Structure 1
Amino acid sequence: MKKLLWIGLLLAFTQGFSQEWGSVNKNTVTVKEVAPVWPGCEAKSGAGIDACFRQQLTNHIAKNYKYPPEAYKNNEQGKVIVELIINEKGIVEIQSVTGGTAALQEEAKRNILLIPKMKKPGMLAGKPKAIKYTIPITFKTGK
């Protein structure tokens, strides 16, 4: 069951987190968001920061994943979608939680709120910027 969770998480994160540094098109300059710096990713730069962030987030969710016992007993399953921002101070703020049952939503919120404060917040044009993420967490009992 954990292998299925890992595979699902990795597939989900590869879709939602691709960011670039920026590009120049003729006389137009496009500046892209830079991902927050997860503790332990400080030595990375450029796309390495983003990749490290994704990997640490995936590891965090898997490490802190706990199926609520009563929900497991009742065979409650589903996908919970957590929308959050990492604010200008590098702290997680949950915006919304949808899908699944109330017990599964509470577990998803608990897991996400355990995310540590980032070493650096997300950046846009060299200034701190709140960055929004959408995290799907799938709960399956395997019964």
Structure 2
Amino acid sequence: MGVFERNIILSAFMETVKLLSLLTIPMISLIIGYEIKFKRENLKVAILTVLLRNLLLVLLGLIINNFIFMKISHLDRLFQVALMTMFILPPPFIIPLYMKDDDNENKWFVSNVLAINTVSAIVLYVFIVSAYIRV
């Protein structure tokens, strides 16, 4: 039995934290999802932005994996997958919340880029895992 389980106050505190953590993730998801508004306007520019961003970050990740992780550090493949995963993740979803309220055109663009980048990150992750993980 740990220290937190023996003390009734600490045990109650830990249970409260557990309950709040169960509620926090859905609330954050609702707030983020509310801000994402997918529009067909400027879709071509948003797709090109995502493609260029992913291309540059995947190339940078491959360079770091091949020259630093493999040749210099001799790190395991798990670190290589972790680096590539970090590089393909979409930008923070909080960005539209920090933009000016009257800047709707840029808000739509950022929301489109975030939505497209989220889908592309899932697809890229499947390819990265299949390329780096050997059975």
TM-score (norm: length of structure 1): 0.31
Greater strand content: 1
Instruction: Give the greater-gyration-radius structure (CA).
Output: 2
TM-score (norm: length of structure 2): 0.32
